[in-house]
Chains A and B, each alone.
Chain A
Amino acid sequence: MPTFDFTSLLWWGLPLAAAPVVIHLINLLRHRVVDWAAMEFLLASQRKYRTRILLKQLLLLLLRILAIAGLVAMLAQPRWTSALTSLLGGRRTAHVVLLDDSFSMGETFAAADAGGEATAFGRGRRMVERLLEELAATPGRHELSLGRFSRLAAAATDGYQPGSPPVPGLAGPTSQPPQAEANGESSSLFDLRSEPVTPQNLARLRRAVGDCRLSAFATGPTAAVRAAAAVFAGHDGGGAIWLVTDLRSRDWLAAEDMVAALETLAAAGIEIHLVDAAADEDEQTATTDPLPRPNLAVERIEMVGGVPASDVLLPWEVTVRNLGAEPVRDVPLVIREDQVERPGVQLDQILPGDSATARFESRFPTAGGHFVEVELPADRLAADNRRTAAVEVVNEADVLIIAGAAAPDDTPGDAFYLATALDPGAAAATGLRPRIEPSRALAALELDQFDSIWLVDVPRLDATEIEPLEDYARRGGGVVFFTGPATQPELVNQTLFRDGAGIFPAPLAAAVDLLTDPRNRGSRRCGRGPSSGGHPAGPPQSVSRCGADRPLPGHPAELPATPRQWPAAAVVAAEPGPVGDRKTLRRGAGRGDPDHRRAGLEQLGTEQSQLGCRHARTRRPARQATAATGESARRRAAGSPAGPGGRPDRC
Chain B
Amino acid sequence: MIPASKRYLPPEALARIGRLELRARTVVDGVLAGMHKSPYKGNSVEFLQHREYTRGDDLRRVDWKVWGRQDRLYIKEFENETSLRLFLLVDGSASMDYRPPRFGQTPGLTKFDYAATLAASLGWLGLSQGDAVGCAVFDDRVRATVPARTSRSHLASIVAGLEQPRQRHPSDFRGVFRSLAETLPRRGLVVIFSDLFGDRAETAKGLQLLRQRGHDIAIFHLLDDDELDFPFDGPTRFEGLEVPEELSCNPRALRAGYLEAVEAFLADIRSRAAAARCDYQLVRTGQPVDAALVNFLARRSQVRS
Chain A residues close to B by CB (< 8 Å): 27-28, 30-46, 48-49, 53, 56-57
Q: Name the distance in Å between B107's Cβ and chain A's nearest Cβ.
A: 12
A36 touches B240 (CB 8 A): yes
Chain A residues with CB under 8 A of B258: 38, 41-42, 44-45
Task: From the candidates B237, B254, B257, B262, name the one contacting A32 in the complex (CB within 8 A).
Answer: B237
| Binding stretch for chain A, among B154-162, B176-184, B242-250, B269-277 | B242-250
A45 touches B261 (CB 8 A): yes
CA distance A27 to B249 in the complex (A): 10
**CB within 8 Å for A28 and B227 given contacts A34-B101, A36-B241, A42-B247:** no
B68 at interface by CB-CB < 8 Å: no
B56 at interface by CB-CB < 8 Å: no
CA distance A33 to B265 in the complex (A): 25
Chain B residues with CB under 8 A of A42: 238, 247, 249, 254, 258
Task: From the candidates B111, B235, B239, name the one contacting A36 in the complex (CB within 8 A).
Answer: B239
Q: Name the distance in Å between B282's Cβ and chain A's nearest Cβ.
A: 14
A46 touches B254 (CB 8 A): yes
Nearest CB in chain A to that of B228: its residue = A38
B195 at interface by CB-CB < 8 Å: yes
Chain B residues close to A by CB (< 8 Å): 94-99, 101, 111, 195, 197, 224, 227, 232, 234-243, 245, 247-250, 253-258, 260-262, 265
CA distance A393 to B16 in the complex (A): 128
CA distance A31 to B235 in the complex (A): 5
10 closest pairs, A vs B, by CB?
A45-B257, A41-B261, A37-B95, A39-B240, A37-B98, A36-B238, A31-B237, A45-B258, A27-B235, A53-B253
Task: From the candidates A30, A31, A36, A56, name the one contacting B98 in the complex (CB within 8 A).
Answer: A36
CA distance A53 to B239 in the complex (A): 20
With most chain A CB atoms within 10 A of its CB, the pick from B235, B257, B265 is B257
B237 touches A38 (CB 8 A): no
A31 touches B236 (CB 8 A): yes
Chain B residues with CB under 8 A of A46: 247, 249, 254, 257
CA distance A40 to B253 in the complex (A): 16
A44 touches B253 (CB 8 A): no
With most chain B CB atoms within 10 A of its CB, the pick from A33, A37, A43 is A37
CA distance A27 to B243 in the complex (A): 25
Q: Name the distance in Å between B44's Cβ and chain A's nearest Cβ.
A: 47
Task: From the candidates B235, B237, B245, B254, name the one contacting A45 in the complex (CB within 8 A).
Answer: B254
B253 touches A38 (CB 8 A): no
What does DSSP make chain A's interface, helix, strand, loop or mixed?
helix
With most chain A CB atoms within 10 A of its CB, the pick from B95, B256, B258 is B258
B241 touches A32 (CB 8 A): no
B262 touches A39 (CB 8 A): no
Task: From the candidates A32, A40, A48, A57, name the one contacting B197 in the complex (CB within 8 A).
Answer: A40
CA distance A195 to B242 in the complex (A): 71
CA distance A30 to B234 in the complex (A): 10
Q: Name the distance in Å between A613's Cβ and chain B's nearest Cβ.
A: 106
Task: From the candidates A28, A33, A43, name the one contacting B239 in the complex (CB within 8 A).
Answer: A33
CA distance A33 to B235 in the complex (A): 9
With most chain B CB atoms within 10 A of its CB, the pick from A30, A35, A41 is A41
Chain B residues with CB under 8 A of A35: 97-99, 239-241
Chain B residues with CB under 8 A of A44: 257-258, 261
Nearest CB in chain B to that of A56: its residue = B253
CA distance A45 to B262 in the complex (A): 10
Chain A residues with CB under 8 A of B99: 35
Chain B residues with CB under 8 A of A34: 101, 232, 236-239
A37 touches B237 (CB 8 A): no
B242 touches A32 (CB 8 A): no
Chain A residues with CB under 8 A of B234: 27, 32
B242 touches A37 (CB 8 A): yes
Chain A residues with CB under 8 A of B250: 53, 57
With most chain A CB atoms within 10 A of its CB, the pick from B239, B245, B247, B254 is B254
Chain B residues with CB under 8 A of A45: 254-258, 260-261
Task: From the candidates B224, B238, B248, B253, name the one contacting A39 in the complex (CB within 8 A).
Answer: B238
**CB within 8 Å for A32 and B98 given contacts A37-B241, A41-B262:** no
Q: Name the distance in Å between A60's Cβ and chain B's nearest Cβ.
A: 10
CA distance A33 to B249 in the complex (A): 11
Chain B residues with CB under 8 A of A28: 235, 248
Task: From the candidates A33, A49, A53, A57, name the one contacting B237 in the complex (CB within 8 A).
Answer: A33
With most chain B CB atoms within 10 A of its CB, the pick from A28, A30, A40, A49 is A40
Nearest CB in chain A to that of B262: its residue = A41
Task: From the candidates A39, A49, A53, name the one contacting B242 in the complex (CB within 8 A).
Answer: A39
A53 touches B254 (CB 8 A): yes
Task: From the candidates B111, B256, B257, B261, name the one contacting A37 in the complex (CB within 8 A).
Answer: B111
